[in-house]
Amino acid sequence: MLKRKLISAVIGVGALVGVSGLTYAEEPYIPIISKGFQHQFWQAVKAGAEQSAQANNVRITFEGPETEAMVDKQIDMLSAALAKKPQALGIAALDSKAAVPLLKRAQSSKIPVIAFDSGVDSDIPLTTCATDNLAAAALAADKMAEMIGNAGEVGVIVHDQTSRTGIDRRDGFLNEMKTKHPGIKIVSVQYGAGDHLKSAEIAKTMIQANPNLKGIFGANEGSAEGAAIGVKESGKKLVLIGFDSGKEQKEAIMSGLMAGAITQNPVGIGKCVVDSAAKALKGETLPKKIDTGFYWYDKTNMSDPKIAAVLYD
């Protein structure tokens, strides 16, 4: 009788062990692969994801390559995450095409995929938690046009031309200028890999090559910070508009070096990723896109509680 009970107990324990090696009593595991780690934006996304993980009783890891130019490194991270047989996955792809083969593997293993910040050229993700980057960049273009009198030369510094955010922010800005502000000429579009030092050099070269330049748009945190450094070092007075937030951008805006910027809602993006993954694990249907919102901020409204809540250091 005692032997039979022991056998039953062993079988019961064995039945609790899932294919991933986790017991069903443990929290579901959701690795989150971001585009980078060097910007404060990603730290704010991570904070939101951690808040949601605690609320949803799931376990997450959050990682990204050292810079947003490391597509191969991100693919390696994605591959390693899938090897751990997670219950769901969050991905902000550096290259909208390169990640697709691995995401197909996730799909075939019935691992729900949630895209964030930057989508992929595939319908595999159940949803994408992101800013409407086309609309956000169009607002930046409208602000630039207003500040330079709807005429003159403008340059653009973008983080990359492979991610969905890079493509949409570039195109959103350029298309808005073309359709609504034809008196403005875009003289240069350059790519700085989101690196502030590289973007600073691009800004200085742009200013030197275009003596009549009236403005520069920096399409992410590193691009905008770098543009601010370049403008300051060149001694040129022009209208600088950024994207995202961070200590350096906020200081540049308060000092008047930068006119203003578009901020996303990074904490909200992080929460959206984990909330969506938790819903997918419960079998709930998700919308194909979740717009996490954006705002224009400058030194006149940075202390507004609604704006201050989405700014970060």
At 217, which amino acid appears?
F
Structure tokens at 168: 């949409």
Fold (CATH) for 14-131+266-292: Rossmann fold (3.40.50)
Region of residue 290 (left: phi > 0; alpha: psi -120 to 50; beta: else): beta
| 103/101 Cα distance (integer angstroms) | 5
| 43/282 Cα distance (integer angstroms) | 28
Residue length, the chain? 313
| 254/242 Cα distance (integer angstroms) | 13
Angle between the N-to-C axes of helices 71-83 and 100-108, in degrees from 0 to 180, rounded to the nearest 10? 10
Q: What are phi and psi of 164, to 5 degrees?
A: -65, -35
Region of residue 235 (left: phi > 0; alpha: psi -120 to 50; beta: else): left
Domain ranges of the chain: 14-131+266-292, 133-263
| 167/164 Cα distance (integer angstroms) | 5
Please give the sequence-ordered ranges of beta strands (E in DSSP) within 3-159, or none if there are none: 29-33, 59-63, 89-91, 113-116, 127-130, 152-158
Per-residue confidence of the chain (313 residues) as pLDDT tens digits? 433 433 343 333 333 333 344 444 589 999 999 999 878 899 999 999 999 999 999 999 999 999 988 999 999 999 999 999 999 999 999 999 999 999 999 999 999 999 999 889 899 999 999 999 999 999 999 999 999 999 999 999 999 999 999 999 999 999 999 999 999 999 999 999 999 999 999 999 999 999 999 999 999 999 999 999 999 999 999 999 999 999 999 999 999 999 999 999 999 999 999 999 999 999 999 999 999 999 999 999 999 999 999 999 8
Question: Do the beta carbons of residue 219 and residue 240 sit within 8 Å?
Answer: no
Kindly write down the DSSP assignment for every residue of 131-182, as one continuous string. --HHHHHHHHHHHHHHHTTT-EEEEEEES-SSSHHHHHHHHHHHHHHHHH-T
Name the architecture of domain 133-263: 3-Layer(aba) Sandwich (3.40)
- Same fold across 14-131+266-292 and 133-263: yes
| 261/263 Cα distance (integer angstroms) | 6
Rg (C-alpha) for the chain, rounded Å, is 22
